[in-house]
């Protein structure tokens, strides 16, 4: 459609309120949360099929007529989306290294965002990510959400001036140009989402701090769009799986929860979800194009704390993962050809499967049989 | 053989480890401990003085701004050059490799001075960025075949004091004469991430042996398997092109010999 009618997205978005969600990680979950929250006001369309570049977004816009549309947007396509659909609010989650064989520098993306965001009336942006803050400052108005971030390895160089960006606890700032963490309008305190007016318990069905961050971004955005925050939270709280992420599948007495982790920041957060348990783990790892063909970054993620549990690696780059775990001092790691065999090698009970993109899709497919 | 604990200085990992290059320290420690040697990895922060007394120095790759920041903090510090002159081993990847040379050219086309530890000058590669698997046969050292992943826009022109680390079978490397990397005394530079010392165990052992002398054998089966897998993966595109080449139908070769 886009090739035949390049004006289609602009026409299809006219007279509708478009809200965009973008970032390296958490796009799909935050989009699902935001869509559920806005649905308390009336009909909402969204691209929940995961097609988040120009062609898929155009198809999604054409598929519905709801007055509000929430669009998950690939971070590289955000400038296009802003130009084509003139969103009223853009929600900016995070920017970190991902598929570096194609996208060589996080800083380039941040500057492309910054150029595109000049025309956006309002952004809801993470205050915890220097690259996001630098870009978000270009918009006309900002709502800042302090969601925290375990991953800071892309935040040591100031995205604005190239000076050193110093991190102290949850705060950060550049000594050279003065770019620093803005005062948040919303922030997380343990399992509570807090603003000057509200203090709301999250109690999410989805696990991990990363989903608290996604919920915080979605509720802050929904509040800006006119949803009562407690109602927004009530609408998102019970969502237990998003496009297969965190879904639980049974296989011969094993209850497998499948977690998607696409890049080092994602792996860091996913490993944190299982850190407090001794539950067996399956790590499924590929390097097809969308996974990133270069898994060197495995060494930027600590795996040492996985010791003391059964771990099985699988996937077409399983040997890379095996060597990574060996270098982290883990021994007795098993390696096998596929997720089902891996499950059968583990005792009955709960198992977490952490998989990168194509491995995740494969795991979902075989577990659904 | 050196008696005390082996110390590995990982220089500025917060800005020089874009592609997991901190894994080179992990690999050295793994292979040292595999021989019963004590090994301590010292992470040198941007505000720390680079130590004068480490046994091995590691510098990784970084984005353009990160590289310039690392350069600012390295300039004026003599300890790395002095340690190398006194026989310490040094392994530098990509941006770290360029920083050790006489000069390099940034994305802004400005030529900047490096530390001058290597007799190397780096400019910008013409054409597209060099991204992909690397396979090379070591020539500057006797460490077998080398496997890695490159992602860079720089070349490397070697002066008379430096010799190439390896001859390329697949990849762009230094961008000239099918060479990859450099060896000069106890210093090794390369464009290979991977991290390279994980994938290339004999290269890791060479750096360790520079400091501690001859090493006991240490076979690492998973690494051996990984090396073969990556070698096959690097060769796959060549094999696919082979029938076309025989028929005279191959498209332009990608900087291959």
Per-residue confidence (pLDDT) for residue A258, from 0 to 100: 95
**What per-residue confidence (pLDDT) applies to A95?**
95
3-state secondary structure of A203: coil
Q: Give the per-residue pLDDT at B252.
A: 41
Q: Is residue A1 part of a domain?
A: no
With respect to residue B256, please indicate whether it lies within any of the assigned structural domains.
Answer: no
| Cα–Cα separations (whole angstroms), residue A149 to A62, A152, A153, B29, B191 | 36, 7, 10, 29, 31
What are B176-181's contacts with CB under 8 Å, separation 24+?
B178/B256, B178/B257, B180/B134, B180/B136, B180/B146, B181/B97, B181/B136, B181/B140, B181/B156
**A159 occurs within a structural domain:** yes
Closest Cα in chain A, distance from residue B161 (Å) = 31
pLDDT of residue B240: 72
Residues A89 and A212 grouped into a single domain? yes
Alpha-carbon distance A364 to nearest alpha carbon in chain B (angstroms): 26
Nearest C-alpha of chain A: how many angstroms from B95?
13
Reference A257, options A281, A238, A239, A236; nearest CA is A281
* Mutant choice from B26, B34, B133 vs A, greatest count of A C-beta within 10 A: B26
Q: Sort strands A248-251 and A199-201 into parallel, antiparallel or unpaired.
A: unpaired
**Which residue among B151, B194, B222 sits closest to A104, beta carbon to beta carbon?**
B151
In a domain, A300, yes or no: yes
Decide if B255 is inside a domain: no
Beta carbons of B47 and B86 less than 8 angstroms apart: no
C-alpha–C-alpha distance, residues A339 and A359, integer Å: 9
Sign of CA pseudo-dihedral A125, A127, A132, A135: positive
User: Of A189, A212, A237, which closes a domain?
Assistant: A237
Asked whether residue B254 is domain-assigned, the answer is: no
* CA gap B188, B184 in Å, rounded: 7
CATH at residue A228: 3.40.1190.10
What is the DSSP secondary-structure string of chain B? ---S-EEEEEE-TTTS-TTSTTHHHHHHHHHHHTTT--EEEEEE-TTSPPPSS-SEEEE----HHHHHHHHHHHTT--HHHHHHHTT-EEEEETHHHHHHSSEEE-TTS-EEE---SSSEEE-BPSSS-EEEEEEEEESSSS--EEEEEEEESB--EE-TT-EEEEEEEES-TTSSTTEEEEEETTEEEES-BTTHHHH-HHHHHHHHHHHH-S------HHHHHHHHHHHHHHHHHHHHHHHHHHTT------S--
A361, A279: one domain: yes
Contact A141, A121 (CB under 8 A): yes
Pair A223, A254 in one domain: no
Tens digit of each residue's pLDDT (9 = 90 or more) over A70-105: 999 999 999 999 999 999 999 999 999 888 777 667
Average pLDDT over residues A210-215: 97
Q: Do A255 and A198 sit in the same domain of this protein? A: no
**Element (DSSP H or E) covering residue A156:** none
Q: What pLDDT was estimated at residue A3? A: 73
Reported residue count of chain A is 369
Q: How many CA atoms lie within 13 A of A241 on its CB side?
A: 12
**Contact residues, chain B, for A298 at CB < 8 Å:** 20, 23
- What does the pLDDT average to over A43-56? 91
Could you tell me the pLDDT band of residue B253, with boundaries at 50, 70 and 90?
very low
Shortest Cα distance, chain B CAs vs residue A110, angstroms: 13
How many domains in chain A? 2
Work out the angle at residue A316's Cα, subtended by the Cα atoms of residues A27 and B148, and round it to the nearest 5 degrees: 95
The C-alpha atoms of residue B87 and residue B49 are separated, in whole angstroms, by 19
Q: What is the pLDDT of residues A341-365, one digit of tens each?
A: 999 999 999 999 999 999 999 999 9
Rounded to an integer, the average pLDDT of A152-157 is 91
Answer yes or no: do A278 and A211 share one domain: no
Contact present, B89 and B46 (Cβ < 8 Å): no
Same domain, yes or no: A123 and A220: yes
> Hey, are the CB atoms on B26 and A299 less than 8 Å from each other?
yes
Q: Tell me which chain A residue has its CA closest to the CA of residue B13.
A: A153
Mean pLDDT of A259-287: 93
Question: In whole angstroms, how far apart are CA A19 and each of A23, A85, B93?
Answer: 14, 9, 43
Three-state secondary structure call for residue A369:
coil
**By residue range, what is the domain housing residue A273?**
248-368
- In a domain? residue B139: yes
H runs (alpha helix) in chain A: 8-13, 27-38, 54-63, 78-85, 106-117, 130-136, 209-224, 229-237, 264-274, 318-327, 339-344, 357-368
Contact B18 A100 (CB under 8 A): yes
Does residue A91 share a domain with residue A36? yes
DSSP class of A114? H
Task: Specify the 3-state DSSP secondary structure of A138.
Answer: coil
If one counts the domains in chain B, the total is 1
Measuring CA to CA, how many Å separate B141 from each of A330, B91, B96, B189, B204? 31, 13, 20, 12, 12
Q: What is the pLDDT of residues A186-199, one digit of tens each?
A: 999 999 999 999 99
CA distance A320 to B226: 7
Alpha-carbon separation of residue A209 from A26, A186, A321, A363, B6 (angstroms): 11, 15, 24, 24, 39
Note the pLDDT of residue B145.
Answer: 98
Q: In the structure, what pLDDT confidence band is assigned to residue B76 with cuts at 50, 70 and 90? A: confident
Whether A232 and A265 map to the same domain: the answer is no
> What's the CATH number where B36 sits?
3.40.50.880
pLDDT of residue A2: 73
Q: Which residues contact A268 (CB under 8 A, 6 or more apart)?
A: A150, A151, A301, A302
Do A198 and A334 lie in one domain? The reply is: no
Q: Domain residues for B179?
A: 6-246
Q: Tell me: pLDDT of B244 over 90.
A: no
Max alpha carbon distance in chain A (Å)?
Answer: 60
Cβ-based neighbour number of residue A369 at 10 Å: 7
Residue after which a domain boundary falls, among A216, A237, A258: A237
Instruction: Decide which of A213, A237, A261 is a domain's last residue.
Output: A237
Residue of A98, A323, A328 to mutate, interface with B, max B Cβ within 10 Å = A323
A3 domain-assigned: no
Q: What is the pLDDT of residue B97?
A: 98
Q: What is the pLDDT of residue B251?
A: 42
Residue A189 and residue A273 in one domain: no
Mean pLDDT of B225-230: 97
* Distance, CA of A211 to CA of A26 (rounded, Å): 8
Q: What mean pLDDT comes out for the span A5-11?
A: 85
CATH code where residue A295 lies: 3.90.190.20
In this structure, the answer to whether residues A226 and A295 fall within a common structural domain is: no
Residue A49 lies in a domain: yes
**Least confident among A100-114, B47-61, B127-141:** A100-114
Split at pLDDT 50, 70, 90, the class of A302 is very high
Q: Is the pLDDT of residue A279 over 70?
A: yes
Task: Answer whether residue B224 shows pLDDT above 50.
Answer: yes
**Residue A243 in domain:** no
The closest CB to that of B65, out of A107, A322, A328, belongs to: A107
Torsion region of A148: left, alpha or beta (phi above 0 gives left; psi -120 to 50 gives alpha): left
pLDDT-derived band of residue A50, with 50, 70 and 90 as boundaries? confident
3-state secondary structure of A326: helix
Residue B43's Cβ-count burial label (10 Å; 0-12, 13-18, 19+) is middle
| Mean pLDDT score, B145-161 | 97
Residue A14 CB: number of other CB atoms within 10 A?
10
pLDDT at B247 over 60: no
Q: Rounded CA gap, B169 and B238, in Å? A: 10
Report the Cα–Cα distance between both ends of chain A, in Å, rounded.
Answer: 34
Q: Are residues A122 and A17 in the same domain?
A: yes
Disruptive mutation site among A296, A313, A337 for chain B (greatest number of B CBs within 10 Å): A296
Per-residue pLDDT at B250 exceeds 60? no
The model's pLDDT over A170-180, given as tens digits with 9 standing for 90+, comes to 999 999 999 99
Position B257 scores a pLDDT of: 31
Contact A323 B195 (CB under 8 A): no
């Amino acid at each position: 459609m886009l090739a035949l009618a390049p004006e289609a997205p602009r026409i299809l978005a006219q007279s509708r309120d478009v809200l965009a969600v973008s970032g390296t990680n958490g796009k799909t979950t935050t989009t699902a949360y935001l869509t559920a929250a806005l649905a308390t006001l009336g009909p909402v369309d969204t691209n929940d099929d995961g097609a988040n570049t120009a062609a898929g977004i155009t198809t999604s816009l054409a598929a519905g007529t709801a007055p509000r549309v929430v669009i998950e947007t690939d971070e590289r396509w955000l400038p296009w989306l802003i130009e084509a659909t003139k969103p009223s609010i853009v929600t900016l989650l995070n920017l970190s290294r991902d598929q570096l064989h194609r996208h060589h520098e996080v800083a380039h993306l941040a500057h492309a965002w910054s150029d595109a965001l000049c025309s956006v009336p309002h952004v809801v942006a993470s205050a915890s990510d220097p690259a996001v803050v630098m870009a978000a400052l270009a918009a006309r108005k900002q709502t800042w959400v302090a969601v925290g971030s375990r991953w800071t390895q892309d935040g040591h160089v100031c995205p604005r001036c190239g000076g050193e960006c110093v991190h102290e606890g949850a705060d950060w700032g550049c000594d050279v140009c003065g770019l620093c963490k803005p005062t948040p309008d919303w922030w997380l305190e343990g399992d509570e989402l807090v603003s000057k007016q509200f203090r709301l318990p999250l109690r999410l069905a989805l696990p991990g701090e990363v989903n608290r961050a996604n919920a915080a971004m979605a509720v802050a955005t929904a509040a800006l769009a006119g949803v009562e925050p407690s109602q927004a939270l009530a609408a998102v709280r019970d969502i237990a799986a998003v496009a297969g992420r965190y879904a639980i599948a049974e296989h011969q007495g094993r209850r497998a929860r499948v977690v998607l982790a696409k890049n080092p920041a994602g792996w860091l957060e996913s490993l944190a979800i299982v850190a407090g348990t001794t539950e067996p783990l399956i790590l499924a790892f590929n390097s097809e194009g969308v996974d990133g063909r270069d898994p060197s970054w495995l060494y930027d993620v600590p795996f040492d704390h996985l010791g003391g549990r059964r771990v099985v690696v699988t996937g077409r780059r399983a040997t890379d993962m095996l060597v990574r775990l060996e270098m982290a001092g883990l021994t007795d790691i098993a390696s096998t050809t596929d997720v089902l065999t891996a499950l059968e090698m583990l005792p009955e009970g709960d198992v977490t499967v952490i998989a990168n993109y194509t491995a995740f899709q494969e795991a979902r497919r075989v577990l659904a049989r | 053989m050196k008696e005390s604990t082996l110390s590995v200085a990982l220089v500025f990992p917060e800005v020089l480890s874009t592609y997991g290059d901190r894994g080179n320290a992990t690999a050295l420690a793994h292979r040292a401990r595999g021989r019963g040697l004590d090994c301590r990895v010292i992470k040198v922060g941007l505000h720390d003085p680079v130590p004068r007394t480490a046994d091995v120095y590691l510098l990784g790759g970084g984005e353009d701004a990160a590289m310039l920041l690392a350069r600012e903090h390295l300039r004026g510090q003599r300890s790395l050059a002095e340690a190398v002159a006194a026989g310490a081993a040094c392994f530098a990847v990509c941006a770290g490799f360029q920083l050790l040379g006489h000069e390099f050219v940034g994305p802004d086309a400005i030529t900047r001075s490096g530390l001058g530890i290597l007799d190397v000058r780096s400019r910008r590669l013409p054409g597209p960025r060099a991204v992909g698997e690397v396979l090379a046969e070591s020539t500057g050292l006797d460490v077998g075949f080398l496997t890695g992943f490159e992602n860079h826009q720089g070349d490397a022109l070697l002066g008379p004091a430096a010799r190439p680390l390896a001859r390329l079978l697949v990849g762009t490397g230094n961008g000239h004469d099918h060479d990859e990397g450099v060896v000069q005394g106890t210093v090794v530079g390369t464009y290979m991430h991977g991290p390279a010392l994980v994938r290339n165990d004999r290269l890791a052992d060479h750096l360790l042996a520079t400091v501690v002398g001859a090493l006991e054998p240490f076979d690492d089966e998973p690494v051996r398997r990984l090396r073969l897998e990556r070698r096959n993966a690097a060769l796959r595109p060549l094999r696919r092109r082979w029938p076309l080449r025989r028929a005279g139908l191959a498209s332009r070769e990608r900087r291959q010999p």
